[in-house]
Amino acid sequence: MSTLRRGFASMSPEKRREIASKGGKSVPAEKRSFSQNRHLAAEAGRKGGSVPHNNHAAH
C-alpha cells in the first residue's frame, strides 16, 4: 500500500481549518427556520416520528 498522503492528510492545517469553518456558515442564522421557531421544529419532529416505515420492509 502506498504511503502517499491523500485528501485532507495532504493539506496544511490552515487549509483544513479553512474548509472546516465553512460547515457552520453555509446558511445564515436568520434563514434556519428550526432555530428561529421551536414549535415548528417540534411539529416536524412529531410528524416525522409518526410516519409509518412500511416501505423499508420491501427492500
- In this predicted structure, what is the pLDDT of residue 1? 58
pLDDT, tens digit (0-9, with 9 covering 90-100), for 14-34: 999 998 888 767 777 777 777
Could you tell me the pTM of the whole model? Answer: 0.37
Domain positions in the chain: 12-48
Residue 39 has pLDDT above 60, yes or no: yes
Give the C-alpha distances (Å, rounded to integers) separating 49 from 10, 19, 44, 45, 52: 42, 34, 9, 6, 8
